[in-house]
Amino acid sequence: MNYDLNKISEQQQKTSTLKALGKLLKLIAHERGNLALALGAITLNTAVNLFGPYLIGHAIDKYVVTKQFHGLLVFGGILLAMYLLGLATAYTQTKLMGGVGQRLLFTLRNAIFNKLQQLPVAFFNQNKAGDLISRVNNDTDKLNQFFSQSLMQFVGSIFTMLGAGIFLLVINVKLGSAALAPAVLILIFTVVLSPWVKATNAKNLKSTGALSAEIQESLNNFKVVIAFNRRDYFRQRFQLANLENYRTAIRAGLANNIFLPTYSFFSNIAQLVVLTYGIHLISIGEFSVGLLVSYLAYAVNFYNPLRQLAALWTSFQVAMAGWDRISQILALETDLIPVTETTREADAALLEFRDVRFGYDSREILHQVNFKLERGKTYALIGPTGGGKTTTASLIARLYDPREGTVLLDGRDIRTYSPEERSRKIGFILQEPFLFSGTIRENILYGNDQLKDYSNDKLEQVIRSANLGEILALFEDGLETKVSATADSTSLGQKQLIAFMRAVLRSPELLILDEATANIDTVTEKLLGDILKQLPESTTQVIIAHRLNTIENADEIFFVNSGEVNRAGSLDDAMGMLLKGNRAS
Ligand SMILES: Nc1ncnc2c1ncn2[C@@H]1O[C@H](COP(=O)(O)OP(=O)(O)OP(=O)(O)O)[C@@H](O)[C@H]1O
């Protein structure tokens, strides 16, 4: 299955803005109450703003033209009260929508992170961590900005425009139509240019993701960079990514600023039309001075929000481009779906590969592989580098599903097990074990519900009874020894020891060790060997190793090469096969 987000975005059919907005609004459906309140506040605010000019025009015609200035005081008081109401409603909606935006940001980040936790290994093989981080941090914030700062202004501007438009037409149809004509041109201009603005912003967000991926890669590999003195190489790559980001940002800036001057131009034209035509109407006695003053104010009330809309429309297009990138992740589903229960085959081996074919991409890595692992036996997988040992082990642990054929665990298709059941049965110590920052205790109890509430004393007892006491004793602070996911305060060998304890304590039925002792000294390695020998008799072990001394106790050896898994016979035969120059292909 294709999980490459950049390819998905290229293949994705252009979704209409309305559809995307609809999907987004569903995410904040539970905010209905706040949205309705904010909408009420903005409607009141708009009404206040719209009635102002009408009252002013009325006051001019009734009190200024007739020189009855005392009436102006009353109107001044009414206007002041209205403006205060305007202030209160503006504050209310800003506060409400700020909360909605922040909660949306919170919900979206949680949703993306949860989705990332559910996606299969193949997804992480095909996407760069830096780009994913940028989607979680940067793109979600674009939506927050739109919701907290722009949405209600957007709605308010549309209300003000509509209200002002109605006033313009009601006061005088002819003058109103002339005043509104430039708005039609603006509408056409906006409709035509919006897709380009959104696409330009999408490119900019993509290049921000690529930049973030570049930074992440060089930071992750800083030792290699320094050791090989390849700073120039990464500097060049970074500069290229930075240049691309700069170029796309310039283009996005240009696109984002194209609406404002155009809207301003048409707005000025509209005022010119109103003024010229209005004076003409006054001269032939069809219009009053007071009405023209109100009229000009309504024209401003119509075109000013339109100008504001230009900026808001841009923020909307940026938010939609961000939303597209976020929804690409949210729409993904793992292809490792559990299948419905099948009947269990009687007297089955613990694990069986039946005609299994697999490849990461179009290239097939495993060709119709068949083998069985019996309970309580120890198996070794050997073979040349790149021969397919880790791939075979990954299929045993269902990190991937076969393209064809079946992997059976305990006589049942491995896909019928829930992830919890499967991980209880199978322990996997990876070539490069991952520890997260915390203590040894936290790391070895990770995913172990049975022991998670044990006190340190009780846990140490369990560790001793699993014969792991000598390993724990290698760490000065015992269970409370601090380990770090990234820093080198814990050596690779030490990490392997902790991962070993973590896997053994879960008492799995099947334990896979992928080069799990490659970085451990010979004495400790022997200690691990002894612990493995003392595991419950029913435990099946699969050991992947390049050092043949680690597999001398294996009951059976499989030779993995060129997409085939074959019985190798004795250790000597296996040596012979390796030395014969079998190469991975
Ligand atoms: N994530 C991946 N995406 C694409 N190809 C991969 C991936 N992982 C491994 N491969 C390819 O699959 C083949 C088998 O790799 P695998 O890691 O299973 O070999 P291995 O026998 O475990 O090697 P080693 O002894 O070096 O660990 C190799 O050709 C490798 O390039």
User: Which residues lie closer than 8 Å to 473 by C-beta, 6 or more apart?
Assistant: none
Q: What is the mean pLDDT of residues 276-297?
A: 85
Domains 24-330 and 351-579 share a fold: no
pLDDT number for residue 244: 93
132 and 255 Cβ atoms separated by less than 8 Å: no
Q: Whose CA is nearest to atom 2 of ligand 1?
A: 360
Q: What is the pLDDT of residues 438-460, one digit of tens each?
A: 888 988 888 777 888 888 889 88
Kindly give the number of the ligand 1 atom that is closest to the alpha carbon of 121.
1
Q: What are the structural domain ranges in the chain?
A: 24-330, 351-579
Residues with CB under 6 A from ligand 1: 125, 360-361, 365, 383, 385-391, 560
Q: Where are the alpha helices (DSSP H) in 221-360?
A: 222-227, 231-256, 259-283, 289-330
For residue 436, what is the DSSP state? -
* Residue % of the chain over a pLDDT of 90: 10
Q: Whose CA is nearest to atom 3 of ligand 1?
A: 360
Alpha-carbon distance of 54 to 168, in angstroms, equals: 11
Q: Reduce the secondary structure of 197-224 to three states and give it as a string.
A: HHHHHHHHHHHHHHHHHHHHHHHHCHHH
CATH architecture of 351-579: 3-Layer(aba) Sandwich (3.40)
CA 500–ligand 1 middle distance (angstroms) = 23
CATH architecture of 24-330: Up-down Bundle (1.20)
User: Which residues lie closer than 8 Å to 124 by C-beta, 6 or more apart?
Assistant: none
8 and 328 Cβ atoms separated by less than 8 Å: yes
Asked which of 115-124, 218-227, 279-288, 522-531 is least confident by mean pLDDT, the reply is 218-227
Helix axes 456-465, 492-505, angle to 10 degrees: 90
pLDDT confidence bin for 585, thresholds 50/70/90: very low
**Tokens of residue 136, six digits:** 């979680």
Per-residue pLDDT at 352 exceeds 90: yes
Per-residue pLDDT at 238 exceeds 80: yes
CA 499–ligand 1 middle distance (angstroms) = 22
CA 227–ligand 1 middle distance (angstroms) = 26
Alpha-carbon distance of 550 to 568, in angstroms, equals: 16
Q: Is the complex ipTM higher than 0.90? A: yes
Query: Which among 1, 365, 512, 577 is the best mutation to test ligand 1's pocket, defined by most ligand atoms within 8 Å of the CB?
Result: 365
pLDDT confidence bin for 488, thresholds 50/70/90: low
CA 298–ligand 1 middle distance (angstroms) = 70
CA 386–ligand 1 middle distance (angstroms) = 5
Q: Whose CA is nearest to atom 31 of ligand 1?
A: 386
Per-residue pLDDT at 487 exceeds 70: no
Query: Which among 124, 362, 391 is the best mutation to test ligand 1's pocket, defined by most ligand atoms within 8 Å of the CB?
Result: 391
CA 514–ligand 1 middle distance (angstroms) = 12
Asked which of 147-156, 279-288, 494-503 is least confident by mean pLDDT, the reply is 147-156
CA 390–ligand 1 middle distance (angstroms) = 7
Query: Which among 128, 360, 429, 548 is the best mutation to test ligand 1's pocket, defined by most ligand atoms within 8 Å of the CB?
Result: 360
Q: What is the mean pLDDT of residues 479-508?
A: 81
CA 383–ligand 1 middle distance (angstroms) = 12
Per-residue pLDDT at 247 exceeds 90: yes
Kindly give the number of the ligand 1 atom that is closest to the alpha carbon of 515.
27
pLDDT number for residue 183: 86
Per-residue pLDDT at 248 exceeds 90: yes
Structure-token match 């790391």, residue found: 443
CA 1–ligand 1 middle distance (angstroms) = 18
pLDDT number for residue 138: 85
pLDDT confidence bin for 354, thresholds 50/70/90: very high
